[in-house]
Amino acid sequence: MKTKEWFASWFDTSYYHSLYKNRDEVEAKKFIHNLANKLNLTSNTEVLDLACGKGRHSITLNELGMNVTGVDLSANSIEIAKKFENENLKFAVQDMRFPFENQKFEFVFNLFTSFGYFDSVEDNLKVIESVKQMLQPNGVFVIDFMNSERVINTLVLNEIKTEDSIDFHIEREYDGQHIFKHIKFTDQDESFHFTERVQALKQKDFEELLTKVGFTITNLYGNFNLDPFNFEDSDRLIIIAKLK
């Protein structure tokens, strides 16, 4: 029997939502507003939020008047997101390595480092091929990823984060290809250990992947204010890629 992939197991637990419960909603909304202005998104634009989690970005896009579909592999996250559904905002469980039904979108967003979870470059290509199939002609793919070079250079090796009365002991490491986050904690006298593993993809890696599938990178930004990207000190690597 195939072992369940780490992200499918961890992302679907209540503990994942506890650990990351305090993600900055104000910052997320500001980021979406900045993107909407920069990309000239208008009402009724067809948007896919790929790996949407509990839907915080999808909800803001919809509030700006767009028709939004949010998909995520985590059934628990989608169950939460579905509470916010309306006529122009829908959510579904979906593996981003495969196209979502037969719908076509003008924009596909993949935000908050929701890429590079897989074991192989082939899976990365499958994601981008899937996005290509779901985009309309001249469609735009937006990737918001960590700036791996800065993360590696400033890696916090150990910390303890307390959420919902649980002390999450977090250890980080870099093996030359992946950044690992080992998360250990005890709840109700039971010990847990989860490991997040993300490929430390850099600008050139994304350029190669996107070019191979038929995208052209039109802009690179380094933070949620959409300032220019600098590999040494930018917080994020935000890529705007257009389908040729």
Asked if residue 108 and residue 164 are part of one domain, the reply reads no
Q: Which of 180, 196, 212 is the last residue of a domain?
A: 196
Residues 76 and 183 placed together within one structural domain of the fold: no
When divided into structural domains, the chain yields a total of: 2
Least confident of 67-76, 78-87, 115-124: 115-124
Report if residue 72 sits inside a domain: yes
- Alpha carbon dihedral 17, 173, 25, 112, in 10-degree steps, equals -100
- pLDDT value at 159 more than 90: yes
Of 196, 218, 233, the last residue of a domain is: 196
Residue 142 lies in a domain: yes
Residues 179 and 111 grouped into a single domain: no
pLDDT in tens, 45-82: 999 999 999 999 999 999 999 999 999 998 989 999 99
Are 81 and 177 in a shared domain?
A: no
Question: How many alpha carbons lie under 13 Å from residue 204 in its C-beta half-sphere?
Answer: 1
What pLDDT is stored for residue 2 in this prediction?
Answer: 43
Q: Does the pLDDT value for residue 236 go beyond 50?
A: yes
Q: Could you tell me if 11 and 31 lie in one domain?
A: yes
**Residue 161, domain extent:** 151-196
**Max alpha carbon distance in the chain (Å)?**
55
Using one digit for the tens of pLDDT, what is the confidence trace for 137-154?
Answer: 999 999 999 999 999 999
Both 52 and 128 in a single domain?
A: yes
Q: Are residues 97 and 189 in the same domain?
A: no
Task: Single out the residue of 24, 33, 73, 28 nearest to residue 53, CA to CA.
Answer: 73
Does 120 have pLDDT greater than 90? no
User: Which of 9-18, 74-83, 152-161 is least confident?
Assistant: 9-18
Whether residue 90 is contained in a domain is answered as yes
What pLDDT, on a 0 to 100 scale, did the predictor assign at position 237?
Answer: 98
Q: What pLDDT does 4 receive?
A: 61
Do 88 and 25 share a structural domain? yes
In a shared domain, residues 77 and 158: no
Q: What is the pLDDT of residue 46?
A: 97
Q: Are 54 and 160 found together in one domain?
A: no
Does 218 reside within a domain?
yes
Does some domain include residue 139? yes
Q: Does residue 1 belong to any structural domain of this protein?
A: no
pLDDT at 36: 97
Residue 41 lies in a domain: yes
- CATH code assigned at 95: 3.40.50.150
Threshold 0.75, pTM exceeds:
yes
